[in-house]
Amino acid sequence: QQQVRQSPQSLTVWEGGTTVLTCSYEDSTFNYFPWYQQFPGEGPALLISILSVSDKKEDGRFTTFFNKREKKLSLHIIDSQPGDSATYFCAASAWTSSSFSKLVFGQGTSLSVVP
Partner 1 sequence: GGIITQTPKFLIGQEGQKLTLKCQQNFNHDTMYWYRQDSGKGLRLIYYSITENDLQKGDLSEGYDASREKKSSFSLTVTSAQKNEMAVFLCASSIRDWGGTSAETLYFGSGTRLTVL
Residues near partner 1 (CB under 8 A) are 6, 9, 32, 34, 36, 41-46, 49, 51, 89, 93, 95, 97-98, 100, 102-103, 105-108
Residue 10 beta carbon to partner 1: minimum distance, rounded to whole angstroms: 9
| Runs of H (alpha helix) within the chain | none
112: left (phi over 0), alpha (psi -120 to 50) or beta: beta
In the complex, the smallest distance separating the C-beta of residue 84 from partner 1, rounded to whole angstroms, is 19
What 3-state class would DSSP assign to 68?
Answer: coil
Question: Closest distance between partner 1 and the C-beta of residue 55, in Å?
Answer: 17
